[in-house]
């Protein structure tokens, strides 16, 4: 008998159906169903659930649930919704997601490196003016967070010839990257980087981390790319730093409220590029293959994949 694996979600119907089809195709050894299709008598056979924006009350229906596999890489929401550590959380670690994020980091770093905001504004005013172009090697890019996504992004930037710095909680060794850790390391990175790329998880220690103090420590005229979570950057402090031109430009893909409300002034800010949380969209096919491998391996060996730490929040 195939292990019954509920897919518990808060997605719209079309997205839920598309995910269910992709998950079933990737995991023929599992009996994956919407939670509502699992009969009461079957519920105590469930050990693992696949979740995407799940309502914790729906998971409470499975008394022998041991772990949940999230379809997302970020876990701040699921940690908030499931504070009880009786059920372990496995987040999505998909090599394709790393490649997609690395591509986005390179694309938007090049956007800033090649002064696209400046030339875009010039075009609007029909101004023909050329600016000096530093080489990639003369441009220092600081990547905050050297995990699955940060490391691949840093490596991609190195391959493109940039001078790359990286910062993480524990000391990391990434080929070609000058790495830092700890509070002092953050200040040292901030003082040197021309572009800071944020790829940290949202945790009690990182929420509000990029505040007036951090922004003031940044190199004058540097820019910021936030592809992680909106609450890591203090919005009003960033606006003040942009206003004073200490920070030149911010590319923001993530916000404390998403979708960003239509009347939010960030939409019209000339020094801000707004993106609708698209830097690394989850690919249903590759993510489903990762999820299938994790769950099938668990039923074959009894070994759970690496779980999220409730202590560190990631």
| Selected range binding ligand NDP among 48-56, 132-140, 223-231, 262-270, rule: CB under 6 A | 223-231
Quick check: 200 binds ligand NDP (CB under 6 A)?
yes
Closest by alpha carbon to 31, among 40, 41, 20?
A: 20
Q: What 3-state class would DSSP assign to 88?
A: strand
CB of 138 to ligand NDP, least distance (A): 26
- Specify the pairing of strand 163-168 against strand 140-144: parallel
- Helix, strand, coil % in the chain, rounded to nearest 5: 40, 20, 40
Residue 203 engages ligand NDP in binding (rule: CB under 6 A): yes
Q: Does 313 bind ligand OXD (CB under 6 A)?
A: no
Which of ligand NDP, ligand OXD, none does residue 142 bind (CB under 5 to 8 Å by kind)?
none
Beta bridge partners of 178: 165
249 flagged as catalytic? no
**What ranges in the chain are assigned the alpha helix state H?**
13-26, 56-59, 76-81, 95-113, 116-124, 148-159, 182-192, 212-217, 235-243, 284-301
Cβ-based nearer residue to ligand OXD, 74 or 208:
74
Residue 218: DSSP 8-state: S
Q: Which one of 4-12, 43-51, 69-77, 161-169 is the stretch in contact with ligand OXD (CB under 6 A)?
A: 69-77
- Please tell me whether residue 34 adopts helix, strand or coil conformation: strand
* Shortest distance, position 73 Cβ to ligand NDP, whole Å: 4
List contacts with ligand OXD (CB under 6 A): 72-74, 282
Catalytic residues: 229, 277
List contacts with ligand NDP (CB under 6 A): 73-74, 145-150, 168-170, 172, 199-203, 205-206, 227-229, 253-254, 277, 279-280, 314
């Amino acid at each position: 008998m195939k292990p019954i694996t509920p897919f518990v979600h808060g997605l719209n119907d079309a997205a839920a159906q598309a995910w269910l089809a992709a998950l079933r195709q990737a995991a023929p050894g599992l009996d994956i169903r919407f939670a509502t299709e699992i009969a009461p008598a079957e519920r105590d056979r469930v050990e693992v659930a696949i979740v995407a924006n799940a309502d914790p009350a729906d998971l409470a229906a499975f008394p022998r649930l041991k772990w949940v596999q999230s379809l997302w890489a970020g876990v701040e929401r699921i940690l908030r919704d499931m504070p009880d550590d009786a059920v372990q959380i496995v987040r999505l670690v998909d090599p394709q997601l790393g490649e997609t994020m690395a591509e986005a980091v390179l694309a938007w770093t090049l956007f800033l490196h090649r002064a696209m905001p400046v030339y875009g504004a010039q075009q609007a005013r029909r101004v023909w003016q050329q600016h000096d172009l530093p080489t990639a090697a003369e441009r220092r890019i600081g990547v905050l967070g050297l995990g699955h996504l940060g490391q691949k992004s840093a490596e991609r930037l190195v391959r493109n010839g940039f001078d790359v710095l990286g910062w993480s909680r524990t000391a990391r060794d990434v080929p070609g990257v000058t790495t830092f850790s700890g509070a002092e390391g953050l200040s040292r990175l901030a003082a040197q980087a021309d572009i800071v790329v944020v790829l940290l998880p949202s945790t009690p220690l990182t929420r509000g981390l990029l505040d007036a103090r951090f922004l003031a420590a940044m190199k004058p005229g540097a820019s910021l790319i936030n592809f992680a979570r909106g609450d890591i950057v203090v919005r009003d402090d960033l606006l003040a730093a942009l206003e004073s031109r200490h920070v030149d430009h911010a590319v923001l893909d993530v916000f404390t409220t998403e979708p960003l409300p239509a009347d939010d002034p960030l939409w019209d800010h000339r020094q801000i590029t707004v993106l609708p949380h698209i830097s690394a969209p989850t690919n249903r096919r590759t993510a489903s293959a990762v999820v299938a491998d994790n769950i099938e391996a668990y039923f074959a060996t009894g070994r759970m994949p690496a779980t999220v730490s409730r202590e560190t929040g990631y």
